[in-house]
Structure 1
């Protein structure tokens, strides 16, 4: 889930069927669902290995979960691209439908053919042909046809966003909290296994604090984003269009999304530094777990806020911006995790979190 296109597609879907004023309440469960895996995954994997005694079963567990998710998406997820289905009033055709819709249409067509053959009335067949012709004419006469066009994607479009000054700033603000949280997640086995001497199962349970913070952070971020949007609109004297959405070029969306984030970032910086010193002096294990919960919550809030802002400032390229955000956050997290172990071997953990 971390480095896949799942998050990019999720952002694109949310942008397709929500207006800006309601985007927070939809991004909240989406971010929670996509980020809770790294928190509960180690617990499930540790339990599977402990029960079977075979590390390979951890990979089979991934296959089972991945296959189930793929089937669920294929059979239930319908096309949301507005260039294909408009505002949802146009039904997708052909491959753009979900597998379940394709099965229902096939079964209905099979039953209709049996019914026609059983009646064997030429006038019914003629009327059916006329209906089909009329239906095809109606569909082709509209701008939105329910059919998409396959195009070879350009992978460099996501990287191109890095050269926009405003996009680069927002990408950095979205990726840096995520990388900070991953530095904590990657250090959990080193901290609780080495410093505090707990066993493997309890180390896995320490990730549950991360799962709790993702739930809390996602809920808080969704409410905060929608409330800030309303507050900003009221302050600048603009009315909110809850049906068709607001003209984003006339709305101070940067102010609405980032409101209050600087205070959160400042307080969290001090907590992040304190986390390293608490671990260094081996304060009671409950203290770093509580600090870990807070840091994870603020990282989720900041990442969700600035990820939404990135989609807002590029309204017609939500999928591309989501992919760019995905690349930046994963690249930053990979760099942090790669240098974590060498730094731990050379300097104190307190200094690592202080300078990070």
Structure 2
């Protein structure tokens, strides 16, 4: 027997085929509920980057207190990024099957426990292991937040919603170093982890009370209640008074399986996108990770002053995520009009014949080129020791442009896999974080061997080389996507 969700989708497809303008709503959540959901998902996505960036201004102090070299401390950055790539592969699959709420809850409990341990530890070995745990708990929030957007937003509005979610995650580069610099300068580096503990608890309490389950495999369009154990506490209390309601056939729970994420990585169009995005991310991280040591040597700044220098970087990134989201939606509607396709046709199979790759990547390409140019400019102003105002201004433009290109690729991945958005975003994290970890390990030797100007010029030229890759996806992506859809449809038919 077909599930309730399948029946609703079949009715909507029939309406499209018969030319009826009215379609079943993609989501039963109201506009105000969507705003609350997106705000909460954006807040959750803030934890991963802030936990990484808040650490940067204190790197020198932690190295001195633990009696280790800056090279060993940089290994904690590398390990953080490795777990940032691996852990979402497991949690993404778990979230697509069990729901977003339980995945968030498990991750935040791990995250809070790791921060308590980091505040109390007194050795490099403990710091290394607990940073890995902290990364495993916080890094999955971005993948989960992307999944939430796919649950509630149609393709025509997904750019704006993703923009607001990404804006939360990109507040980390703006606020994290400032908070970290203040805490490290005046209360010591351990206060950083106590702050993160308190901040994590402040998120977890209202989340457990009010945040609804959104996963379409669990609640359909949002009108079907999840199992009682997966209800917000406020609704759980009321559920005992309410009569039983309709349910849908839900995926069976099992040990989280990363195979779905790996299978996404090896799709032709997706693999090209992920490699291009990973190279851009590696360049982005090369700049941010090297700022503390370079600014300390060149401008003799303390922890707090270094933290303040990240503000333009993060502000540019935050502005870009919101503005780029608006442009993505506008470009989607423009191409929909040119293709005579109603923007309400939003499920993956209804994107057949629509150039979704062009709708997204037309925005990414100019931002990619401009962002790469800012990396070159950043390297040479540091090479010549120009006044601090110059690299600070460049960082704002760099955050504005590079973040816009990240956002477009992330949105396109969700367009490809709206029903497995958490797994798709996990694949993005896996590739870009592993490459970013390698880039972080190499940037110091490269700076010593090549100098600041030529090092960042080389990084920028590698970033520019991704532009032809995106062009390939724009040209051949629609055909590859249709071939993939046919394969999935035939496998689904065989399974029935």
Q: Is the 8 A contact 2:312 2:396 kept in 1?
A: yes
- In structure 1, the residue matched to 2:119 is none
Equivalent in the alignment of 1:350:
453
Larger radius of gyration: 1
In 1, the alpha carbon distance for the partners of 2:349 and 2:329 equals: 14
Deviates more, 1:198-207 or 1:231-240: 231-240
Q: What is residue 219 of structure 1 aligned with on the other side?
A: 322
Q: Does 1:101 align with 2:235?
A: yes
Structure 1 unmatched ranges of 5 or more: 110-131
- Counterpart of 2:212 in structure 1 is 78
1:326 to 408, 425, 429: 429
Given that 1:276 and 1:353 are in contact with CA atoms closer than 8 Å, whether structure 2 keeps it comes out as yes
Q: Normalization by structure 1: what TM-score?
A: 0.84
Q: Normalized against structure 2, the TM-score is what?
A: 0.62
The answer to whether the Cα contact below 8 Å between 2:382 and 2:453 also exists between their aligned partners in 1 is yes
8 Å contact from structure 1 (residues 12, 318) kept in 2: yes
The 2-side partners of 1:348 and 1:301 are apart by 28
Q: Is the 8 A contact 1:179 1:336 kept in 2?
A: yes
Structure 1 Cα separation of the partners of residues 213 and 387 of structure 2: 51
Among 304, 329, 343, the residue aligned to 1:240 = 343
CA distance in 2: counterparts of 1:307 and 1:316, whole angstroms: 15
Instruction: Give 1:18's aligned residue.
Output: 153
Q: Which residue matches 1:55? A: 189
How many angstroms does 1:149 deviate by?
4.1
Following the alignment from structure 1 to structure 2, what is the Cα–Cα distance between the partners of residues 69 and 209? 26
Contact 1:158 1:323 in 2 (8 A): yes
The aligned counterpart of 1:123 is: none
Q: Is the 8 A contact 1:183 1:340 kept in 2?
A: yes
Between 65-74 and 315-324, the greater mean CA deviation after superposition? 65-74
CA spacing shift, 1:164–1:251, aligned 2, 3 Å: same
Task: Give how far 1:244 is off.
Answer: 7.7
What is the alpha-carbon distance in structure 2 between the residues aligned to residue 295 and residue 99 of structure 1?
A: 43
Task: Calculate the aligned-residue CA RMSD, in Å.
Answer: 2.2
Q: How does 1:112-127 map to 2 (within 5 A)?
A: none
CA–CA distance in structure 2, aligned partners of residues 219 and 103 of structure 1: 37
Tell me the distance in 2 between the aligned counterparts of 1:35 and 1:263: 20
Which structure exhibits the higher relative contact order, with contacts defined as CA atoms closer than 8 Å and separated by 6 or more residues?
1
Kept in 1, the 8 Å contact 2:414–2:421? The answer is yes
Q: 1:40 aligns with which of 161, 172, 175?
A: 175
Between the aligned partners of 2:274 and 2:214, the Cα distance in structure 1 is 25
Gaps (5+ residues) in structure 2?
1-47, 50-83, 85-138, 460-496
User: Residue 159 of structure 2 contacts residue 329 of structure 2 at CA under 8 Å; is this kept in 1?
Assistant: yes
* 4+ aligned runs moved over 3 Å, structure 1: 103-106, 242-246
Aligned length: 324
